[in-house]
Structure 1
Amino acid sequence: MSPPPLQTEMIYISSCNLTRASELAFLVEPADVIAVRDRPLVLNCQVEGEEPIVITWRKNGVPLQHAPHTRTRLLTNGSLLFENFHKKRSDNNETDVGEYDCAAHNRYGLLVSRKAKIQLASLPKFLAHPESMTVEEGGVARFQCLIRGIPEAVITWECNRTALQTEDQRYTLLPSGILQITGVQRSDVGFYRCVATNIANTRYSQEAQLKIMVSVPKTYKEPVILSGPQNLTVSVHQTAILECIATGNPRPIVSWSRLDGRSIGVEGIQVLGTGNLMISDVSVQHSGIYVCAANRPGTRVRRTAQGMLVVQAPPEFTQWPQSMSKPVGSRGVMTCVAQGVPEPHLIWLKNGKILTPGENVKLSQNNRYIYIHTHTHIHTHIHSGTINRCWTNVFLSYRLAKDQVPSKVGSSLQLYWYSPRLIFVFTLYPFHAFVRSYSNQPESRELQEAVSKTTFQHDFTNLEPSTTYSIYLKAYSPLGASKESQVIVATTLGSVPAAPGFFTKVINATAIHVFWELPQKHGKIEGFKLYHRKLPGTVYEGPRLLPSTANSFVFNHLGESKTCVCACGSAHVRY
């Protein structure tokens, strides 16, 4: 059985991802990394596709030069090696810090990776040091230090230059650099300092002295919140800690609630020390305003403080654009839907450059839909970014089927007219004939062709078959153009149907869902024939006869990790 006209070759990469065997696809893309000064660093980039493949790297959008005097070297697998990473190069004061991406190029086009941000590990001086304080015996002490490191520093505490024994439940250490001591005892007197450590350095804060006030008779004291929750922004699956430490006599009871009245819940909820709220593995639903209350036992006397928790979710695709193949001159439509907190912004790229609306490209609904009119193979790369970036690759190609011969049947219109009565003699000024799609869709274009003044007919060729057009004429003289002639509406005849737009989606390791677009033109499709075969075999299985209203089919019980060729050919059309 001879193969049908249009073929789309696919191979399995995994149970949930497909890519064309001959085109480009990333196996490994560069990822954000924190570099250590004067140490080697590798940015990974591995590509598969039809050889030869040329891989280049860019830094902040500028191509890198791998000369002998530079510190970067391109490895055989396409990765980028920094032999010793520097914040600044002594020769030209240029920094190695920046955004890098790798680009792969073969005869199918250019594929650009996600941008990988390189930061240099650092640990600058403390922004805030702990301060000395005096408290009553049995009271509450609180020390805080503040430092910003890359990566974030781990904070520990020392008393009298000896590591603090955190097993004592009276000590509460918060990751933000806060030390709380409840039920202060005489043994707690001393000098406290915090120690910040990351891969770049270790720093010690100034020392703060803790003193105990001379014992005084205990009297009633109103509840006081020494430190309440601060506004906090975290990412999903992280741990959020909201601080609340209170004092008073008798010791107040700390409780938590949400300002909107919703329940905080119990799963993943823990109280640190005497009142700090810890939420493990936070989700978007945990976002809200939290209120801590310090109550005097047995009374309604209370003090409150509140802080906002914002949980961000990295962007992710909920509807992925699908690769497709379209007939030359037709329209390709791709859909991409993403979600995240805050709402992600979608950007479409072609060969690494942002696609902007123009003659052949239209975007709609916050870039969820893209309409493309073109005669060339393109590669589109989408990303959406807020706190993170998310990428996917799709291919849209336009081509003729192997046995499809371009024909003027059903794609031409012939226009006749009478010469107007002229006041001026036409010497250099021709007629202009105009044709536009009668549907007047936003993506349709008006065609204009010049006609000699001695001609009274004109053929519009290369029009879409089975399409209604509106046609009008203008005459020109030295004083300008005439008004539009009477508009004529005409419909081109039908012809052999164009190959349907055809794409696939993997359901699992043994099933593929194939889709195609139903023609939008006039005429009646009698049905569709669907074929498939396993490579390297040459015999197609099928055809499966499907009705004219069908636009998808599921192939089940395919072999795992097998190469599969799918093809869809439409039956002839009656008009």
Structure 2
Amino acid sequence: RRFCPSIESHKVIVFLSFYNTFMDLLFLVEPVDTLAVRGLPAVLNCSAASDAPVRVEWKKDGTFLNLVADDRKRQLADGSLLISAVVHSKHNKPDEGVYQCVATIDNLGTISSRTARLTVAGLPRFLSQPEGVSVRSGGTEMLSCEVTEELAPFTRWERDGRPVELDGRVIQLPSGALVISNGSQSDAGLYRCSIDGLGPAKTTDEAQLQVSAEKLETLQGPVAVAKVVGESVLLPCVMKGYPVPVIRWTLNDRPIDESRERFAVIGGGSLQIVNLTEEDAGIYVCQADSGNMTSEIQAELTVHVPPRFLTRPSNTYAQESMDIIFECDVTGSPPPTVKWMKDGDTVIPSDYFRMHNLQVLGLVKSDEGFYQCLAENDAGNVQASAQLIILDLASGPSERNDPTPSAPRDVVASLVSTQFIKLTWRLPAEPHGENITYSVFYSLEGTNRERVENTSGPGEMQVTIQNLAPDTKYTFRVVASNANGPGESSTPLTVATQLEVQVPGPAPNLQVVSVGTSSVTLSWDRPVTGNGEIQTYRLFYSEKGRDSEQDVDVTGLSYTMTGLKTFTEYSFRVVAYNKHGPGVSTEDVVVRTLSDAPSAAPQNLTLEVLNSTSIMVRWQPPPAGTLNGELTGYRLRYRKGLRRADAAEISTSQLFQLIEGLEKGKVYTVRVSASTVNGSGPTTEWIAAETFENDLDESQVPGVPSSLHVRPLVNRIVVSWTPPENQDVLVRGYKIGYGIGSPHAHTVTLDYKQRFYSIDNLDPSSHYVITLKAFNNMGEGIPIYNSATTRPQSAPDPTPMLPPVGVQATVLSHDTVKVSWADNSLAKNQKITDSRYYTIRWKTNIPANTKYKTANTTTLFHTVTALKPNTLYEFSVMVTKSRRSSTWSMTAHGTTFESIPSSAPKDVTVISKEGNPRIININWQPPTEANGKITGYIIYYSTDVDAEVHDWVVEPVLGNRLTHQIQGLTLDTTYYYKIQARNSKGMGPMSDAVQFHTPKGKSSTSQSCDLMRTCGGVTLSRLCVSDKPGITGSQEKRVLVIVVIVSVGAFTIIAVIAGAVLCTRRSNSHQKNTGSHKYKSSSKDLNPPDLWIHHERLELKPMDKSPEPNPVMTETPIPRTAQDPAAEPSHQRRGESLRFISSTPHPRLALYPHSCSCHFSSLCFCFWLFFSLRCFASLNPNSNTAPLAWLSLSQTYETDELSEEMAHLEGLMKDLNAITTD
């Protein structure tokens, strides 16, 4: 079992406890109609299957069989019924009848199988004995074997004690009779009929067949027969005579094409039809010609179609008080009757059970079970079943114990009519939520079957209950529901519908009399229950077989209607009207108008010249509806040439006539008219035919035509030919076959005199294959072939359709746009019911020569995919129907959303800055597929191309820049560069790595210092003093180091003390005057002191000689990675100086570590002192700097000694930093 927390129906939420799953119960085998023989066993098969145990029982003629008390009947293990010995007599037929298998699952339901009829055949016996007959050589004869209809399939024939072999010449009819056609001496002998397969064989007396001469005689013709679709039928037409009769068949007055696969003429004339269809039904006529004698027999074939389900009932879950419909749509011929059963019992139509589809209104628990739809007609019966499960409402409170609405207030009937009541109410006092929906439960007073009607939407507090009975009391109650479920019910309200208005009763004594070929007179009496003054009478009439009905208003009690069709049945009825409306209609009265002479001539009059002295005339009856009465015969007139006086007349009731005794080589004209009791109708046109000059040889087929010529045009091909070379063989006509690629698609039969023909209604620019062959009564000759291609034709432009309107482009994503529109040539509901389709085209204007792309659809919208991101597209629509198309609609535009760049920046180049090998310029172009506005770039560079991405140095650049400068690179080093673009949606792919090798530095024997170096916008310089002779030796070195340390230390201490005092005194005055001072330094930020001693990875390198006139200090850049979020721009970090605070209050001192080489004969004095006024925001940024010079070391000064002295200096600077912090 599965639990269902809620079911939503008509926006009313109902909480359910649990429900059962559907149980499969079906028949694997159902019983079929069976023929049994008295005294022999019989079996009716039946087998049912289900997941649960199934009990199978049997019914006979609607009553369950008691198999325990019947020793002749027992049920097999699979459910089949076995009758050990069938009992059947004239007054006792206990086994014959209609059987039905019933399958039951206890405590669940029952289904019934289709019905099957058991027919019992008596002991084999013959109704008559075959009689001896004679047949002319080449003729046809029949030997009868009369048995009952049920025994006919068991009959067999023997000749001279041996079984007769059946073939296309010797056949056995459904009645058991044996037909021998094209008889010969080999067919002569003693024949007898036997019955096999039903116990001991029983045979008839022997009858002798002799071969002799006979004239035309009808042995057996077709009779009316009814068959089921898919079965076979044999319509006998057995004729004998000499010459051998020529038999033709027609269906509904149209010749039957015997070349069709399902039709075959066997046994010399009997028509066999296999695999019957509904279209095969109709009037079949067998026509036999033998010399001057003719015979015609007709019979009607009725084709029945067994019932077949178009829609089967389906398993359904429902709740009490709901309405459900079990659909059961069945087709068949004749139309099947449908009945319903519930658990094996017939469902009786009532107010709560309505047919044809079973509609159950106001469900109650007892309605649960199996429902079966049974359909039956003359061809069979079928059944289909479905299960109905009534779901129980949850009895306990909701698990969340959430409150439900209280009862709706003030339920009243605001409008009461004869067949409907309108109810209104007020909101519950405690709705406990929003979107309150309502359900109205109502029932007929005195019944417990309650129905429900839901409001149309949340908050709707009125409903109209339709289809009520007049003058009847109903009980209503209203239940409100919120998201937690249904609440309390309102107090029941009882309301009675109004009385039905008093309308007139039927007009009695309606009489209709035909007074002419197109008029009738009607009369009637005043209704007995007029219920007031009769205002008018409305006369309704329709032609029989037509569904449409016409009407005319009449003020009196009689009327003469004119303008009707001749000899046609009409149906009439009368309805009286009073002030309340139409009353009760009378019963339909059918009358036929009087007959008249035919109003049209016979159709398809043809003449066939048989020989030099006779012509066969054939025709078809006048068109339907033009006979104007019962046909009594035809009048045929013929004459030689155009001499009116020599016309002869022949009366016949057949559709053909042989005219004999004519002159050789003469032209005769013939016309025919049809007749009724009222006279003859119009005649056909005179049709001419010429008899042969001589009786040519017709013992062989004609030869091939000597030539065939074709002349193609646009829609037709003109064919011309010459007759066969052998003129001694009779040619009765020619047959032209043609078609596209094959000559067998169409066939045209022409007269033997014709030498050309125009094949019309062809397709332009199409290749046709054409064949021509001559024929006579012996058959068709050898064909001659040719082919031709029709000329092309430019069809005139059809009237254009209206273009679609209201085209809208809705952007769905970066590559998808939904285009929708309306079509004014459709109905208001915009429903497409024909074969029209729509073409959508779109393109972007970038680049300008972009071609349109198109797509077809049969709906009023289309989703265009695979578009480019962040691209403006234009869309337009065109409609096409058959060969008509509209112009393009107005254009709609839409710009797709942005997407991350799908390509990397291109054309990445790296060049070194002229004059400074440590600086490079990197240039690039935007990505080809930016997919949006580029908001920035990220430059990655590293000396290791295989390093992880997070180990590369990152340089961010604004999106409007296409070049960037990177400083502080190491000389003689290979760098790799990548660039990545970004937009509002994210980062794109990286470009391929670009390699660049920085140049080597220039060397010089003379001392040189770095050029100007910029840091934070402040220019630093170092002064170099020319070499001069002075102190030498180790002693001088020690003195120089001591002087440097003492000088720097003393100066630093003094500068710190003075700066601290000055800052303290001037801070207050600066706060007052800060608005009137402006910062004029090249740096825009006021940064705290940045001491060089904090740069732990700072290295000192020898000075390189620069080509610049002013030497500038250089340093190794501090490496940064992409993981360093606080990384500053390169132009700030690389140019940042190593700074400390001097003893002067305002300036900032920048100290550059360096190495300076001097000649042995001179000393190098380098001054590193730089003052910068940067004491918070109150210091003057334009203070002058005071350089401090000190002696440089000699060229032979050891590096270790210099590093040791610099370490002492670093300690002093740390002490200074601690003091400034305090």
Alpha carbons 2:444, 2:475 under 8 Å: kept: no
Supply the distance in 2 between the matched residues of 1:199 and 1:306 (Cα, whole angstroms): 35
User: How far apart are residue 449 of structure 1 and its match?
Assistant: 7.9
Q: In structure 2, which of residues 234, 241, 254 is the aligned counterpart of residue 241 of structure 1? A: 234
Supply the distance in 2 between the matched residues of 1:170 and 1:31 (Cα, whole angstroms): 34
TM-score, length-normalised on structure 2?
A: 0.31
User: How far apart are residue 289 of structure 1 and its match?
Assistant: 1.0
Supply the distance in 2 between the matched residues of 1:95 and 1:490 (Cα, whole angstroms): 55
Q: Do the aligned partners of residues 3 and 70 (structure 1) sit closer, same or farther apart at CA in structure 2, a change above 3 Å counting?
A: same
Equivalent positions of 1:162-561 (< 5 A) are 162-166=162-166, 171-186=170-185, 188-211=187-210, 223-261=216-254, 263-264=256-257, 266-296=260-290, 302-363=294-355, 367-376=356-365, 377-386=368-377, 387-400=379-392, 402=394, 414=410, 438=421, 447-448=444-445, 464=453, 466=455, 468=463, 492=478, 494-496=480-482
Q: Which amino acid aligns with 2:322?
A: S
Supply the distance in 2 between the matched residues of 1:228 and 1:180 (Cα, whole angstroms): 12
Q: Do the aligned partners of residues 87 and 410 (structure 1) sit closer, same or farther apart at CA in structure 2, a change above 3 Å counting?
A: farther
**Equivalent residue number for residue 556 of structure 1:** none
Alpha carbons 2:363, 2:451 under 8 Å: kept: no
Q: Do the aligned partners of residues 370 and 206 (structure 1) sit closer, same or farther apart at CA in structure 2, a change above 3 Å counting?
A: farther
Supply the distance in 2 between the matched residues of 1:199 and 1:439 (Cα, whole angstroms): 73
Q: Do the aligned partners of residues 104 and 448 (structure 1) sit closer, same or farther apart at CA in structure 2, a change above 3 Å counting?
A: closer
Deviation larger for 259-268 or 68-77: 68-77
Cα shift readout 1:62-101 (whole Å, capped 9, x = no counterpart) = 3333437734444555x14537233169xx9773443242
Supply the distance in 1 between the matched residues of 2:417 and 2:445 (Cα, whole angstroms): 5
Q: Do the aligned partners of residues 291 and 209 (structure 1) sit closer, same or farther apart at CA in structure 2, a change above 3 Å counting?
A: same
Supply the distance in 2 between the matched residues of 1:208 and 1:354 (Cα, whole angstroms): 56
**Equivalent residue number for residue 46 of structure 1:** 48
Classify the secondary structure of the residue corresponding to 1:495.
Answer: strand
Cα shift readout 1:418-466 (whole Å, capped 9, x = no counterpart) = xxxxxxxxxxxxxxx99995279xxx9764489xxxxxxxxxx997553
User: How far apart are residue 112 of structure 1 and its match?
Assistant: 2.8
User: How far apart are residue 317 of structure 1 and its match?
Assistant: 0.5
Supply the distance in 1 between the matched residues of 2:362 and 2:42 (Cα, whole angstroms): 46
Q: Do the aligned partners of residues 496 and 333 (structure 1) sit closer, same or farther apart at CA in structure 2, a change above 3 Å counting?
A: farther
Q: Do the aligned partners of residues 226 and 400 (structure 1) sit closer, same or farther apart at CA in structure 2, a change above 3 Å counting?
A: same
Matched residue count: 431
Supply the distance in 2 between the matched residues of 1:183 and 1:67 (Cα, whole angstroms): 60
Equivalent positions of 1:143-162 (< 5 A) are 143-148=143-148, 150=150, 152-162=152-162
Q: Do the aligned partners of residues 497 and 86 (structure 1) sit closer, same or farther apart at CA in structure 2, a change above 3 Å counting?
A: farther
Classify the secondary structure of the residue corresponding to 1:130.
Answer: coil
Pick the structure with more strand per residue: 1
User: How far apart are residue 130 of structure 1 and its match?
Assistant: 1.9
Q: Do the aligned partners of residues 342 and 247 (structure 1) sit closer, same or farther apart at CA in structure 2, a change above 3 Å counting?
A: same
Cα shift readout 1:501-542 (whole Å, capped 9, x = no counterpart) = xxxxxxxxxxxxxxxxxxxxxxxxxxxxxxxxxxxxxxxxxx
Q: Do the aligned partners of residues 55 and 155 (structure 1) sit closer, same or farther apart at CA in structure 2, a change above 3 Å counting?
A: closer
User: How far apart are residue 132 of structure 1 and its match?
Assistant: 2.6
**Equivalent residue number for residue 606 of structure 2:** none
TM-score, length-normalised on structure 1?
A: 0.63
Q: Do the aligned partners of residues 2 and 280 (structure 1) sit closer, same or farther apart at CA in structure 2, a change above 3 Å counting?
A: closer
Supply the distance in 2 between the matched residues of 1:353 and 1:46 (Cα, whole angstroms): 19
Classify the secondary structure of the residue corresponding to 1:176.
Answer: coil
Supply the distance in 2 between the matched residues of 1:230 and 1:435 (Cα, whole angstroms): 58
Classify the secondary structure of the residue corresponding to 2:124.
Answer: coil
Q: Which amino acid aligns with 1:141?
A: E
Deviation larger for 40-49 or 348-357: 40-49
Alpha carbons 1:435, 1:446 under 8 Å: kept: no
Pick the structure with more helix per residue: 2
- Listed as ranges, the gaps of 5+ residues in structure 2 are 9-19, 424-440, 456-461, 486-1222
Alpha carbons 2:88, 2:122 under 8 Å: kept: no
Q: Do the aligned partners of residues 228 and 464 (structure 1) sit closer, same or farther apart at CA in structure 2, a change above 3 Å counting?
A: closer
Alpha carbons 1:149, 1:198 under 8 Å: kept: no
Alpha carbons 2:100, 2:112 under 8 Å: kept: no
Alpha carbons 2:169, 2:180 under 8 Å: kept: yes
Alpha carbons 1:239, 1:282 under 8 Å: kept: yes
Cα shift readout 1:98-144 (whole Å, capped 9, x = no counterpart) = 32422313222233333343344555322243223344555432211
User: How far apart are residue 383 of structure 1 and its match?
Assistant: 1.1
Supply the distance in 1 between the matched residues of 2:262 and 2:446 (Cα, whole angstroms): 71
User: How far apart are residue 389 of structure 1 and its match?
Assistant: 0.9
**Equivalent residue number for residue 71 of structure 2:** 70
**Equivalent residue number for residue 107 of structure 1:** 107
Supply the distance in 2 between the matched residues of 1:29 and 1:70 (Cα, whole angstroms): 24
Alpha carbons 2:222, 2:237 under 8 Å: kept: yes
Alpha carbons 1:5, 1:402 under 8 Å: kept: no
User: How far apart are residue 388 of structure 1 and its match?
Assistant: 0.8
**Equivalent residue number for residue 855 of structure 2:** none
User: How far apart are residue 354 of structure 1 and its match?
Assistant: 1.3
User: How far apart are residue 295 of structure 1 and its match?
Assistant: 2.5
Supply the distance in 1 between the matched residues of 2:283 and 2:93 (Cα, whole angstroms): 45
Classify the secondary structure of the residue corresponding to 1:153.
Answer: helix
**Equivalent residue number for residue 58 of structure 1:** 59
User: How far apart are residue 294 of structure 1 and its match?
Assistant: 1.6
What RMSD, in angstroms, separates the aligned Cα atoms of the two structures?
4.5
Supply the distance in 1 between the matched residues of 2:219 and 2:419 (Cα, whole angstroms): 74
Q: Do the aligned partners of residues 266 and 103 (structure 1) sit closer, same or farther apart at CA in structure 2, a change above 3 Å counting?
A: same
Supply the distance in 2 between the matched residues of 1:194 and 1:342 (Cα, whole angstroms): 36
Alpha carbons 1:157, 1:163 under 8 Å: kept: yes
Q: Do the aligned partners of residues 83 and 416 (structure 1) sit closer, same or farther apart at CA in structure 2, a change above 3 Å counting?
A: closer
Supply the distance in 1 between the matched residues of 2:199 and 2:44 (Cα, whole angstroms): 18
**Equivalent residue number for residue 521 of structure 1:** none
Aligned sequence identity (%): 23
User: How far apart are residue 350 of structure 1 and its match?
Assistant: 0.8
Supply the distance in 2 between the matched residues of 1:446 and 1:166 (Cα, whole angstroms): 72
Q: Which amino acid aligns with 1:495?
A: S
Q: Which amino acid aligns with 2:264?
A: Q
Q: Do the aligned partners of residues 489 and 117 (structure 1) sit closer, same or farther apart at CA in structure 2, a change above 3 Å counting?
A: closer
Supply the distance in 2 between the matched residues of 1:249 and 1:86 (Cα, whole angstroms): 51
Q: Name the structure, 1 or 2, with higher relative contact order (CA <8 Å, separation 6+).
A: 1
Q: Which amino acid aligns with 2:374?
A: H
Q: Do the aligned partners of residues 122 and 162 (structure 1) sit closer, same or farther apart at CA in structure 2, a change above 3 Å counting?
A: same
Q: Which amino acid aligns with 2:60?
A: K
Classify the secondary structure of the residue corresponding to 1:256.
Answer: strand
Alpha carbons 2:321, 2:452 under 8 Å: kept: no
Supply the distance in 2 between the matched residues of 1:226 and 1:20 (Cα, whole angstroms): 66
Cα shift readout 1:386-423 (whole Å, capped 9, x = no counterpart) = 12111101122222355897999587675699xxxxxx
**Equivalent residue number for residue 543 of structure 1:** none
Deviation larger for 29-38 or 489-498: 489-498
User: How far apart are residue 287 of structure 1 and its match?
Assistant: 0.8
Alpha carbons 2:317, 2:389 under 8 Å: kept: yes
